[in-house]
C-alpha cells in the first residue's frame, strides 16, 4: 500500500493512493469516486482542502471565543464546555469544494484555470455531530444590530468567511465536534469546525478559534478575491449554495466487463433537493435513473441504473435536476476562477 507517509505532506492522515487522488499541491487530496462503499464517505478517503498545513491543536488549551459588534458580551468556551453544556445533534451533510471538477472545467473551455486542479473528488458526505451554532451564539446575547457571523480558523491561512445571521441561526448550521461517529480528525478541523449546510466547502471553516458576530457586512479574502464568481463585465458575487451536479462512481476513463451490471452514482444540489437523475448512453435516449435517497436538502442522494453494455467504446452522460427544475447544463459559462462547474460530463467507458 503506497501512502504519502514516505514523502513530506502537510496532511496528517495517511493518504492512500488507492483511495485518494493527489491534487498536486501537497495540501489537497480528492476522494476517488470509485471508492465510495456507503452513503457516507469514510474518514480515510474524505477529501482534504487545506490552504495551509493541518495545524496540530491541543484540546486542553484550545478555546473558542464569540465576540463582535453584534453581541452584548464576549463569551469563551473550552473544549470541555462544548461537550458538557450543550445538546448535540447529528446531521448527514455533503461538503463540496467550489473548485470541484476545475480540471474538467478547464478542458471544456480549452484552457487551464489557476487554482487546485480538482478532478471529480472534492466532494464528500459525513454524519456531523455537534452543536447548532445558534446555541453557542445565544449566551453572548445577539443584539438587533447583528447582521453577519464569521467563524475564523487557527490555521496559518486564518481561513474565515462570513455568512448572514439567518444562515448562522439555521438549525443545521453546526459547530461539529465529530464526523462519522469519530472525534473530528485533525485534517478535517479538530477540535471544532463549522458545517454550513448546502454551501460551498469554504464556508465550513475548520479549526475554529473565534466567531465574530458583526454589526456590518464583512469583507475578507474568501468573499472578495476567492470563492466569488467573476464573470466578464459583472461584479464579483460570493458563492453560497452550489449548483446541481452528479458524480458517477467509476474511474475516469472507466473500463468495464461486458454483461449486465449496475452503474451507480450520487447527485447533489447544495441547499436544494435532487428531484431526478437521467442518463444517456452514446447517442441513445435520455432515461431516468432510480433514486435511492436519502433525499435530503444539503446531502447527496444515491442513484443507479442497470446496463448490459456491448463491447467497445461508450460515452455515458448523467444529468441531475434539482427540485426547482434546474438541470445540469451542456456547458458551464466561463468564470475567471473556475468555480461551480456542473456541466453534463461525457464519461468515457471502454467495455472489453
Chain contacts with Mo ion (rule: CB under 5 A): 49, 97, 201-202
**Distance of alpha carbon 306 from alpha carbon 313, whole angstroms:** 18
Contact of residue 51 among ligand MTE, Mo ion, none (CB under 5-8 Å per partner type): ligand MTE
Least distance to Mo ion, CB of residue 123, Å: 10
- Running DSSP on this structure, what letter comes out for residue 86? S
Of 234, 59, 235, 208, nearest to 137 (Cα)?
Answer: 208
Are the CB atoms for 349 and 254 separated by under 8 Å? yes
Residue nearer to ligand MTE on the CB measure, 203 or 254: 203
Among residues 229, 227, 273, 269, the alpha carbon closest in space to that of 247 is found at 269
Pick what 222 binds: ligand MTE, Mo ion, none; C-beta below 5 to 8 Å, kind-dependent. Answer: none
The set of cell numbers assigned to 312 is 467497445
Give the nearest distance from C-beta 49 to Mo ion in angstroms: 5
| Cis status, amide bond into 184, omega within 30 of 0 | no
CB of 270 within 8 A of CB of 244? yes
Task: Report the distance separating Cα 207 and Cα 218, nearest Å.
Answer: 20
| CB nearer Mo ion, residue 196 or residue 213 | 196
Place of cell 496559518: 156
The item of Mo ion, ligand MTE, none sharing an interface with residue 159, based on CB under 5 to 8 Å by kind, is ligand MTE
**Which of ligand MTE, Mo ion, none sits in contact with 101, Cβ below 5 to 8 A by type?**
none
CB of 168 to ligand MTE, least distance (A): 16
Binding region for ligand MTE (CB under 6 A)? 46-51, 95, 97, 153, 155, 157, 159, 188, 201-202, 204-207
Partner interacting with residue 204 (select from Mo ion, ligand MTE, none; CB below 5-8 Å by kind): ligand MTE
Could you tell me the smallest distance in angstroms from the CB atom of residue 118 to Mo ion?
9
**Pairing of β 75-78 and β 287-288:** unpaired
Which residue's CB is nearer to Mo ion, number 130 or number 201? 201
Between 79 and 199, whose beta carbon lies closer to ligand MTE? 199
Phi and psi, residue 10, nearest 5°: -95, 10
Minimum gap (Å) between residue 173 Cβ and ligand MTE = 14
The single residue listed with the C-alpha cell 485518494 is 20
Q: Which does 95 bind (CB under 5 to 8 A by kind): ligand MTE, Mo ion, none?
A: ligand MTE
Amino acid at each position: 500500500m503506497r501512502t504519502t507517509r514516505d514523502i513530506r505532506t502537510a496532511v496528517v492522515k495517511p493518504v492512500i493512493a488507492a483511495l485518494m487522488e493527489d491534487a498536486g499541491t501537497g495540501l489537497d487530496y480528492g476522494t476517488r469516486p470509485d471508492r465510495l462503499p456507503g452513503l457516507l464517505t469514510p474518514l480515510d478517503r474524505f477529501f482534504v482542502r487545506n490552504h495551509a498545513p493541518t495545524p496540530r491543536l491541543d484540546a486542553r488549551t484550545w478555546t473558542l471565543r464569540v465576540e463582535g459588534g453584534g453581541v452584548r458580551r464576549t463569551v469563551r468556551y473550552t473544549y470541555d464546555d462544548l461537550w458538557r453544556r450543550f445538546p448535540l445533534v447529528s446531521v448527514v451533510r455533503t461538503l463540496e469544494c467550489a473548485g470541484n471538477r476545475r480540471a474538467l472545467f478547464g478542458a471544456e473551455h480549452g484552457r487551464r484555470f489557476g487554482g487546485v486542479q480538482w478532478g471529480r473528488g472534492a466532494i464528500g458526505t459525513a454524519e456531523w455531530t455537534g452543536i447548532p451554532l445558534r446555541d453557542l451564539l445565544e449566551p453572548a446575547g445577539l443584539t438587533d444590530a447583528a447582521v453577519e457571523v464569521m467563524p475564523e480558523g487557527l490555521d496559518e491561512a486564518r481561513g474565515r468567511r462570513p455568512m448572514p445571521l439567518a444562515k448562522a441561526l439555521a438549525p443545521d448550521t453546526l459547530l461539529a465536534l465529530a464526523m462519522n461517529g469519530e472525534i473530528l480528525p485533525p485534517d478535517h478541523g479538530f477540535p471544532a469546525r463549522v458545517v454550513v449546510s448546502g454551501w460551498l466547502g469554504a464556508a465550513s471553516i475548520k479549526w475554529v478559534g473565534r466567531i465574530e458576530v458583526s454589526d456590518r457586512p464583512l469583507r475578507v479574502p474568501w468573499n472578495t478575491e476567492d470563492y466569488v464568481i467573476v464573470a466578464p463585465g459583472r461584479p464579483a458575487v460570493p458563492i453560497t449554495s452550489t449548483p446541481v451536479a452528479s458524480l458517477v462512481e467509476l474511474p475516469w476513463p472507466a473500463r468495464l466487463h461486458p454483461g449486465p451490471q449496475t452503474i451507480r452514482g450520487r447527485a447533489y444540489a447544495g441547499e436544494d433537493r435532487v428531484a431526478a437523475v437521467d442518463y444517456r448512453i452514446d447517442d441513445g435516449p435520455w432515461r431516468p435513473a432510480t433514486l435511492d435517497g436519502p433525499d435530503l436538502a444539503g446531502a447527496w442522494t444515491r442513484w443507479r441504473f442497470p446496463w448490459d453494455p456491448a463491447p467497445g467504446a461508450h460515452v455515458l452522460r448523467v444529468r441531475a435536476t434539482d427540485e426547482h427544475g434546474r438541470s445540469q447544463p451542456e456547458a458551464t459559462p466561463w468564470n475567471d476562477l473556475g468555480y461551480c462547474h456542473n456541466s453534463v460530463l461525457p464519461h468515457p467507458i471502454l467495455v472489453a
